[in-house]
């Protein structure tokens, strides 16, 4: 069963606009990680946010975490065509276990 559900499933925006993707999960977590995947390629780690953190920034990326709502959002500012990819969140489904469960992903398309 899916730990995470991402929303929207697909997003199409113009270059320069901001893109916001959301991830919801079901169980308590220690951390949540966001990944980017270009079609058929590897998963690139973007950012990790811990359960005691509310917001993290990395370049044009801003991630928030609301543990009371069991949700996280990834904001990409000033998007570029190169940001076109699928974005996944992954959670350590049960703290103390050695596995990450992925959400269903958001396919982002940035139009030049």
Partner 1 sequence: AAGVIQSPRHLIKEKRETATLKCYPIPRHDTVYWYQQGPGQDPQFLISFYEKMQSDKGSIPDRFSAQQFSDYHSELNMSSLELGDSALYFCASSLEQENTEAFFGQGTRLTVV
Q: How far is the CB of 102 from partner 1 (least distance, A)?
A: 4
Q: How far is the CB of 14 from partner 1 (least distance, A)?
A: 25
The two structure tokens encoding residue 62:
């801003």
Task: Give 52's DSSP letter.
Answer: T
Let me know how long the chain is: 112
- Block residue for tokens 């995947």: 37
The count of residues interacting with partner 1 (CB under 8 A) is 27
Our finding on whether 16 is near partner 1 (CB under 8 A) is: no
Our finding on whether 106 is near partner 1 (CB under 8 A) is: no
Rounded to 5°, the CA angle 2-21-27 comes to: 35
Binding residues for partner 1 (CB under 8 A): 2, 30-31, 33, 35, 40-45, 48, 50, 88, 90, 92, 95-105
């Amino acid at each position: 069963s899916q730990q995470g559900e991402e929303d929207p499933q697909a997003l199409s925006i113009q270059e320069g606009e901001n893109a916001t993707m959301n991830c919801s999960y079901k169980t308590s977590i220690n951390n949540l990680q966001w990944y980017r995947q270009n079609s058929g390629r590897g998963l690139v780690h973007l950012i990790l946010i811990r359960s005691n953190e509310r917001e993290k920034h990395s370049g044009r990326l801003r991630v928030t975490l609301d543990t009371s709502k069991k949700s996280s959002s990834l904001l990409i500012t000033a998007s570029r065509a190169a940001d076109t990819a699928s974005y996944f969140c992954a959670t350590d489904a049960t703290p103390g276990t050695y596995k990450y469960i992925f959400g269903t992903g958001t396919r982002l398309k940035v139009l030049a």
